[in-house]
């Protein structure tokens, strides 16, 4: 479950989701200036973060044979040995390339789906009211953990086992967060953007950009802000099975990010668009068609290599058939594993967590365990 250890008062850390009958998010404490009390700062290590060493699953360091199957492993070793006999100096490099090929082939076959996005809010009831009344979401479930001083709320346009949802976290006594410059926006598909904007205005919401046709005339868009300052892009579309359609994040190396999400995450590059006038480029990445599923929209602003991530946005969660193979593929593609794959203490759910090249966090959750938790 949740463990707390001291940390330096000069830093803070984004944690992720925590163990529970359903995996809700327990987010890490906030930097001291944002806390009302003056207690020592702490890290919260939980289901979607790192755990104390005594609880680490020592079996997570699986051999290559365990990871990709005995037959595949033996075949690879035979190929490597053949090359080794003729060119000993190339053995290590050959072994790595074969392992990577096997891992990436498996990634493409893995049944993956974006599950939810996690971020912090300062007034949970106000945010829930805004999302339900203005954006048409439903409150799917809510849980309060008074002993840990936080509350979670899950909202979306359908059940969690088939839709991408929002997971909000409210930490007692913290009413404001720094969103930073790295997070971009969430995308919501609506049938009538102008009507939605009028409703948001009537409810006292903030409109950043009035309804405007896109340059190619394919749709109408508008931008609004929720009570915590998170930006939402409204896109006018026909009825879709997944109205919560985008998570936009900014990246510092466009080619590197596309390559990572294609290989390590098994996503497809659905669309790429360059805006020379405003000096930015967009890559839309996902596991299904852009008009029927949730996608990541990676944005590169010309010449900008780094962004401030703030302490509001936390991570996305993705379903996988095998967290061990997922972690291996991420490592082979240069990603950083922040939580080694394996079951969590106290429950059977298997997860692994990682950072992409820009430091954006993602948690992979075992598909079968996830379905069991929802039951």
Distance CA 295, CA 372 (A): 25
Band (pLDDT 50/70/90 cuts) for residue 215 is confident
pLDDT digit string, tens, across residues 101-160 = 788 889 999 999 999 999 999 999 999 999 999 999 999 999 898 998 999 999 999 999
Question: Is 68:325 a contact under the CB 8 Å cutoff?
Answer: yes
What average pLDDT is seen over the chain? 80
Considering the domain architecture, whether residues 89 and 236 belong to the same structural domain is answered as no
236 is in an annotated binding site: no
Considering the domain architecture, whether residues 84 and 163 belong to the same structural domain is answered as no
Question: Is 41:32 a contact under the CB 8 Å cutoff?
Answer: yes
- pLDDT the model gives residue 75: 40
116 is in an annotated binding site: no
Considering the domain architecture, whether residues 78 and 204 belong to the same structural domain is answered as no
Residue 338 has pLDDT above 80, yes or no: yes
pLDDT digit string, tens, across residues 37-72 = 333 333 333 334 333 333 334 333 333 333 344 333
CA distances from 144 to 124, 147, 323 (A): 11, 9, 29
User: Both tokens of residue 186?
Assistant: 């969430």
Higher pLDDT, 348 or 365: 365
Considering the domain architecture, whether residues 204 and 262 belong to the same structural domain is answered as yes
**Reported pTM:** 0.75
Question: Is 172:150 a contact under the CB 8 Å cutoff?
Answer: yes
Considering the domain architecture, whether residues 64 and 131 belong to the same structural domain is answered as no
Half-sphere exposure of 37 (CA within 13 A, CB side): 9
CA distances from 84 to 70, 73, 101, 108, 332 (A): 20, 16, 18, 29, 21
Number of domains in the chain: 2
- The domain in which residue 103 lies consists of 58-109
């Amino acid at each position: 479950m949740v463990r707390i250890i001291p940390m330096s008062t000069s830093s803070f850390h984004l944690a992720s989701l925590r163990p529970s009958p359903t995996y809700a998010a327990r987010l890490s404490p906030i930097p001291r200036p944002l806390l009302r009390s003056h207690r020592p700062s702490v890290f919260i290590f939980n289901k979607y973060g790192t755990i104390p060493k005594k609880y680490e699953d020592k079996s997570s360091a699986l051999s290559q044979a365990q990871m990709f199957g005995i037959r595949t492993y033996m075949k690879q070793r035979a190929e490597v040995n053949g090359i080794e006999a003729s060119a000993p100096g190339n053995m290590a490099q050959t072994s790595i390339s074969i392992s990577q090929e096997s891992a990436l082939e498996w990634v493409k076959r893995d049944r993956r789906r974006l599950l939810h996005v996690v971020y912090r809010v300062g007034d949970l009831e106000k945010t829930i009211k805004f999302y339900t009344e203005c954006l048409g979401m439903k409150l799917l479930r809510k849980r309060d953990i008074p002993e840990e001083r936080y509350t979670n709320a899950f909202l979306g346009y359908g059940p969690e086992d088939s839709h991408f949802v929002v997971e909000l976290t409210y930490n007692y006594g913290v009413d404001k967060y720094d969103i930073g410059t790295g997070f971009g926006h969430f995308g919501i598909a609506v049938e009538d953007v102008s009507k939605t904007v009028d409703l948001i205005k009537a409810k006292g919401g903030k409109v950043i950009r009035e309804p405007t046709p896109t340059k190619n005339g394919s749709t109408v868009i508008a931008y609004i802000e929720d009570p915590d300052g998170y930006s939402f892009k409204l896109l006018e579309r026909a009825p879709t099975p997944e109205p919560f359609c985008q998570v936009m994040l900014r990246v510092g190396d466009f080619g590197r990010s596309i390559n990572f999400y294609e290989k390590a995450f098994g996503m497809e590059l659905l669309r790429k668009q360059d805006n020379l006038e405003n000096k930015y480029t967009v890559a839309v990445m996902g596991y299904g068609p852009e008009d029927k599923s949730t996608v990541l929209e990676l944005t590169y602003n010309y010449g900008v290599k780094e962004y401030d991530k703030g302490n509001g946005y936390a991570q996305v969660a993705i379903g996988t058939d095998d967290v061990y193979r997922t972690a291996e593929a991420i490592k082979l593609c240069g990603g950083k594993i922040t939580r080694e794959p394996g079951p969590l203490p106290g429950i059977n759910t298997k997860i692994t967590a990682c950072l992409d090249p820009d430091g954006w966090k993602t948690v992979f959750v075992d598909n079968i365990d996830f379905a069991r938790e929802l039951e």
